[in-house]
Chain A
C-alpha cells in the first residue's frame, strides 16, 4: 500500500534502504548486478549533483561575494552580505510578510480542507461532483488562476461590482496593505485546498465506524464524537499536511509576483519575491544569494521538523 502522504511526508523513513535479501550469487553475477544498479541510478544522480547539489554549494559561495553583474564583481567579501542582511529593513519586512502569509495560509487552508473533507465524507449523493469541483483549481494553471482573481479584485473589478449591487462599498483589495495580504492568502487557499481536502478525506475514511458507533451508543453527540474520536485519529495526517503546506507556502512566488509584486509598501513581499527582485531586478547576485541562504535555512528547518514529526507519529501509530 502506498503511504497516504507522499515523498515529502514519507521521507522520514527513507533512510532505511533495503538490502536485496537474495541469496549470495557468484561474484561475476554480483558484479554485473552492481554495474546495472549504478548505471540505472546514474542519470538521476548526475542530475541531482548538477542541478541540486552544485547550485546549492554555489549559492553559499556567491553569498560571500559582492557581485553586481552590471557593475562588477564578483569580489570575495566574507560575511559582509550577512551583516547587511541583519540591518536590512526590507528583509525584516519580507520575513514578516512570509510569516503572516505562511501562518494565514496554513490556518485557513487546513480549516477549510477539514470542513470540506467532513462534508464530503457524508453518505450523500453527488459528493464526487463536489469533490471534483473543489479539487479542480489544483490542476489549473497557477498563473491563469491568479490572473482571474487579480482581475476580479481590481478596484473597479467584479467583486467590488457585485458588492456594491448589494450595497457594500468594497475596498481596493490589492492596494491596501492588510487587504492585499488577505487577498493573496485567500486566493492561494482556494487554489490548493483541494489537495489537502483529499488527503484528509482519505484519513477520515480510515476512521473505524465501530468507534464512531461506540461513541454514539455512549450517548455522545455528533460534535462530541468528532472532537473526541475522529479528530484524535486523524491528527497525524492533520499535522503532517500542515507542515507540508507551510513548507510549500515558503515557495510562493508567481502568485505574489502577478497579484501585488510584493506591494503595497512591501506588505506582501515574501522571501521568494524579495530574492527575485534583488537578484534579477536590482541585479545583485551576491546579496540575492544571501537571501537564498536564508530561504534555504527556513525550508531546511521545517523539513527537519517534518521528519521528526513523521518518525514520532509513525511510532505512535503502532
Chain B
C-alpha cells in the first residue's frame, strides 16, 4: 500500500461541499435524533396532561389542558424521601468507591507485595461478574444478618464490590501510565509511600477519579435489581423502584403521574450531563463500562 501521499502536498479535502449534500446531511441528522429526543418530549408533555388525555386519539404534541395534577399526585407519595434515598446512597457509594479504588489501584500499579497476582485475579473475576448472577447468595448474605429492607446492601455492596472493582481497574490503568520519576521527587523529600500516593499521584489522577465517580454514581442511581430484591417498604425505595409503583389498584400505570415522576428523576442528571458532557463522554468512553 502506498503511504507516501504526503509528498504530493495536496490539501486534504479539495472538494467543496455541495450545497444539497449539506442539506441532506442535516436533514438525515435531524431525522436520526427523533428516537433520542421524542421520548423526552413525550415524557415531559404527558406529565402536564390530565390522565383523561394521555392516551387520547389523535395524540397531541402539547397538552390541550395544562395541569399540574400529576405533580401534585407525585408528591402525595413519599417521593421526596425516595429522592433523598437515591441521592444519599449514590453519594456514599461514590465517595466510598473513590477512596477504596484509588488506594487499591495505586498499590496494584506501583507496589510489589507477595500475592499481588493472585489478589489482582480476584479483582478481575469481580470485573466480569454481573450482579444478576449472584443475587440469590447476596440476598441470603444480607438476610442472614438482618439487613434486608435497609439501605445497607445498596451502599456496602457496590462500595466494596462491583463499583470498587471497576474503579480499582480504571485507577490502576491510570497509575501505570504516570512516570515513576514524578514520584521519586516525593521520596527524596522524605515522603512515605502512602504520602507519595496522597500528595503526588492522587492529584494527577483527577480525570480518572472523575470517570470513576461518574460511573459509580450512575450505576447506583440507576440500579434496579438490588432495590427490587432488598427493599420492601415504600419509604425505603429508591427512585427507579419507586417509578414502577405509580399504578392503580389493578396494576395499570397511572401514566401522567408516572411520567411526572420520571421527569423529576431524569432532569437533574440530564442537566448535569449537558453542562459537563465532555467529562461524561470522555470518562465513560475511557473506561468503557456501561452505566
Contact = CB atoms under 8 A, between A and B. Distances in A.
Contacts of B274: 132, 136
Contacts of B3: 208, 210-211, 214
B132 A253 contact: yes
Nearest to A270: B132
B281 A209 contact: no
Interface string B112-150: 111011011011111111101111111111000000000
A2 interface: yes
Interface stretch (B65-73, B77-85, B251-259): B251-259
A168 interface: no
Secondary structure at chain B's binding surface: helix, strand, loop or mixed?
helix
Interface string B256-291: 001100100110011001100100110011111111
B57 A250 contact: no
Interface string A173-203: 0000000000000000010100100110010
Which of A40, A46, A300 has the most CB atoms of chain B within a 10 A radius of its CB? Answer: A40
A143 interface: yes
A76 interface: no
B93 interface: no
Given A11-B124, A36-B193, A285-B136, A22 B240 contact: no
Given A47-B160, A137-B36, A139-B269, A7 B169 contact: yes
Nearest to B131: A251
Contacts of A14: 120, 124, 169
Given A47-B160, A52-B165, A214-B5, A292 B136 contact: yes
B2 A214 contact: yes
B212 to A, nearest CB: 11
Nearest to A286: B136
Interface residues of A, number: 116
A162 B91 CA distance: 41
B166 to A, nearest CB: 6
Nearest to B165: A48
Given A2-B286, A11-B127, A151-B42, A17 B265 contact: no
Interface string A1-25: 1111111111100110111111000
B243 A7 contact: no
Interface string A236-257: 0000000010001011011001
Contact of A56 (B103, B134, B288): B134
A58 B137 contact: yes
Given A6-B286, A36-B193, A134-B33, A140 B224 contact: no
A280 B228 CA distance: 10
Contact of A34 (B32, B55, B113, B287): B113
A81 interface: no
Interface in B101-119: 101, 103-104, 106-114, 116-117, 119
Contacts of A15: 117
Contacts of B229: 276, 280
Interface in B147-180: 156-157, 159-162, 164-166, 168-170, 173-174, 176-177, 180
A248 B290 CA distance: 8
A48 B123 CA distance: 6
A56 B42 contact: no
Given A17-B120, A289-B136, A149 B39 contact: yes
Nearest to A128: B277
B233 interface: no
A8 B218 CA distance: 18
Nearest to B187: A22
Given A48-B125, A52-B126, A144-B266, A40 B59 contact: no
A21 B183 CA distance: 13
B271 to A, nearest CB: 11
Contacts of A48: 122-123, 125-126, 160-161, 164-165
Given A47-B160, A47-B164, A165-B58, A199 B285 contact: yes
B52 interface: no
B210 interface: no
B1 A158 contact: no
Contacts of B228: 257, 276
B288 A250 contact: no
Contact of B161 (A52, A116, A244, A276): A52
30 contacts: A6-B289, A7-B288, A9-B288, A11-B128, A20-B111, A41-B119, A43-B160, A44-B160, A47-B161, A48-B160, A54-B141, A124-B26, A130-B32, A135-B277, A139-B273, A140-B269, A141-B221, A142-B222, A195-B288, A199-B288, A209-B12, A210-B6, A211-B5, A213-B10, A217-B5, A218-B2, A248-B290, A285-B136, A296-B133, A299-B128
Interface of A: 1-11, 14-15, 17-22, 32-34, 36-38, 40-41, 43-56, 58-59, 62, 116, 119, 122-124, 126, 130-145, 147-152, 154, 156-158, 161-162, 164-165, 190, 192, 195, 198-199, 202, 208-211, 213-214, 217-218, 244, 248, 250-251, 253-254, 257-258, 272, 275-276, 279-280, 285, 288-289, 292, 295-296, 299-300, 303
Interface of B: 1-3, 5-6, 8, 10, 12-13, 22, 25-26, 28-29, 32-33, 35-37, 39-40, 42-43, 46, 54-55, 57-59, 100-101, 103-104, 106-114, 116-117, 119-120, 122-130, 132-141, 156-157, 159-162, 164-166, 168-170, 173-174, 176-177, 180, 192-194, 197, 208, 218, 221-222, 224-225, 228-229, 239-241, 243-244, 253, 255, 258-259, 262, 265-266, 269-270, 273-274, 277, 280-281, 284-291
